[in-house]
Chains A and B, each alone.
Chain A
């Protein structure tokens, strides 16, 4: 049944009346996602597009509609609060699209989520999609095809590129998840691999990483010790100079930690097949199926 989201998911949108929120809510509805509620403080009682009820608080929305998942489009200064509000209402999954949340706010969020049932994906991510069933986020739905390859990635368009390469080869995806490019994120590569490993509908996993931090290395250890499905990886940023942030706040090589080369070596040592070139991602996945 894929991971995290399916045709049964009942979604609420925090920030549904904003520019990004309303645009992408329309796209999600068009894809077939069950958007059951929206939240914008002060706009409770309105209807989005004449059909999705809008509430002032997440608690109200959950009580009235039975929403079990939230996607967040609210501006960065208020996004951490929005994540915690969603967790407070007991939602099982919160996907935060918002970019630019202060690191300190995210550290608080991560601590707030400990001992709660909520899984956070993001922030600063494209979202989660189970092709043909449910799209939550800003990814283009139509490039995806239902199938058995799980995809997890720190980036947006590079993931679309990789998914496109898979779909072009007739390789479908079970669930594709963007975990975000920030230094502190809710779901890590390691968490995603664990979920895919336990999912009977996933037969192999594609992991797309980039320079900075050690999340890919930790995931690699899991592959060696626990993973019983093939894992293919690509790491972006071989040519990135140390000390510069390459767009994503988390994509920085500092103190010699986080280089593409060290990640690639760690992954290969743990039995992960690493694509040399971003043009060969689809081919590398095909080779392990």
Chain B
């Protein structure tokens, strides 16, 4: 069985394309990869005297704070802004310290803003309904509004089997104290936003801010959509929007091998079969005083290929000081898993200390195979012992060997 990685995220310009196709008004804009393209686009978009926004296209939020969104009066200013943004590593509160390389900017015609709203949609797991949230506090993070002024968030629950009905869109729109014309427009936008979310198998759709313009139009100034990866087989257009440059290179490589790997900050690499056991292994490493370097699920029936690929990926992370292999041998018995570990690792010629714990069926035979392999593996009988040995080995100690 394959295990899947994080849900698919797309760029603002891609989300706006989808929303626009479903009838949500979006600003006129052009996505550009070079300063020349920006200059030409800005010349056209500013010809009526309106300014443009030059917006870095990365997945992380907080782009404005990181200097990734600039207003420009004319093509010269737009080109200048683009020359600083394109090709730079943009650091925002959500990117981490090394930032995210900007390969594209969106050049958009500006709008006269009279008001800013929030509109968002996601699944409410406990009611098994889609929850549609709107607020007058556009431009703020919805989590912050929820914490500080929850009364300003209005919710409507939508049965995903029935879909949104126009009255529900009106219920949302008339909570927002809008001028009559704008309320009607907002209801239309909410209806269309739901169609896009629902028909494209999104797991999240958010417009923040949704602006009311001085002339009474309702426009999605920003847009964010995430998608259910389990549904990508029937959403080829969405699947094609994946941007590999946004993914951690090791996570991308693991994904190509059908492995579920998430890079973390610690130094104890771990390779486990099953997501729950993998999480529990990270937890026990922490309890033993270490920090996990990764989450890695090699799949229910760990085999030579998945173990070999998983091990190579773990060891490409320079922080890794030791690797803990924790595999529960069920239907695939421990002796077979042990042979898989030995076969996969003897060809890799690695210096990294390896601690192996195999539990379940035929664990004793597994232990013999691991110890007789003379590859310097440390064997651990218990879950706790495995974590303690791996933590000690990663910090350069003797590894708690006997």
Give the B-binding residues of A (Cβ under 8 A): 20, 27, 76-77, 99-105, 107-108, 110-111, 138-140, 142-143, 153-161, 164, 181, 183-184, 208, 210-211, 213-215, 218, 234, 236-241, 244-251, 255-256, 260, 276-279
Contact = CB atoms under 8 A, between A and B. Distances in A.
Interface string B270-295: 00111111111111111100001001
A173 to B, nearest CB: 15
Contacts of B2: 99-100
Given A238-B286, A240-B282, A247-B260, A139 B276 contact: no
Interface of B: 1-7, 123, 125-126, 128, 142-143, 146, 159-161, 198, 201, 203, 228-231, 233-234, 260, 262, 264, 272-287, 292, 295, 297, 300, 328, 330-331, 359-361, 382-384
Contacts of B260: 247
Nearest to A168: B359
A155 B233 CA distance: 25
Contacts of B143: 255-256
8 contacts: A102-B201, A102-B230, A157-B330, A164-B360, A214-B126, A236-B280, A236-B283, A237-B279
Given A157-B328, A183-B125, A143 B7 contact: no
Contacts of B128: 107, 110, 184
A30 to B, nearest CB: 11
B276 A155 contact: yes
B223 to A, nearest CB: 19
A251 B274 contact: no
Contacts of A213: 125-126
Nearest to A153: B276
A184 B231 CA distance: 14
Among B262, B297, B331, the one with the most A-chain Cβ atoms within 10 Å of its Cβ is: B331
Contacts of B328: 157, 160-161, 164
Nearest to A159: B276
Contacts of B125: 183-184, 213-215, 250
Given A20-B1, A248-B276, A218 B331 contact: no
B280 A142 contact: no
Given A244-B6, A255-B146, A140 B330 contact: yes
A251 B295 CA distance: 13
Among A183, A211, A279, the one with the most B-chain Cβ atoms within 10 Å of its Cβ is: A279
Contacts of A101: 230
A215 B124 CA distance: 12
B160 A104 contact: yes
A156 B280 CA distance: 12
Nearest to A240: B279
Given A214-B125, A277-B287, A247 B278 contact: yes
Contacts of B201: 102-104
B234 A155 contact: no
Contacts of A110: 128
B262 to A, nearest CB: 6
B331 A240 contact: no
A142 B361 CA distance: 8
Among B125, B126, B264, B359, the one with the most A-chain Cβ atoms within 10 Å of its Cβ is: B125
Nearest to A244: B262
Contact of A102 (B231, B275, B280): B231
Nearest to A103: B228
B279 A211 contact: yes
A278 B284 contact: yes
Contacts of B5: 245
Contacts of A241: 262, 264
A246 B262 contact: yes
Among B126, B260, B292, the one with the most A-chain Cβ atoms within 10 Å of its Cβ is: B126
Given A140-B360, A255-B143, A246 B278 contact: yes
B362 to A, nearest CB: 10
A110 B160 CA distance: 11
Contacts of A102: 201, 228, 230-231, 234
A89 to B, nearest CB: 21
Given A155-B274, A161-B383, A240-B279, 4 more contacts: A107-B160, A157-B300, A213-B125, A247-B278
Given A138-B300, A157-B274, A246-B295, A236 B279 contact: yes
Contacts of A100: 2, 4, 230
Among A76, A99, A211, A249, the one with the most B-chain Cβ atoms within 10 Å of its Cβ is: A249
Contacts of B280: 158, 161, 234, 236, 278
Contacts of B297: 247
Contacts of A104: 160, 198, 201, 228, 231
B58 to A, nearest CB: 15
B19 to A, nearest CB: 18
A278 B305 CA distance: 28
B300 A108 contact: no
Nearest to B126: A214
B253 to A, nearest CB: 17
A239 B274 contact: no
A156 B279 CA distance: 12
Nearest to A213: B125
Contacts of B161: 107-108, 111
Nearest to A100: B230
Contacts of B279: 158, 210-211, 236-237, 239-240, 246-247, 251
Contacts of B331: 27, 138, 140
A279 B275 contact: no
Nearest to B204: A254
Contacts of B264: 239, 241
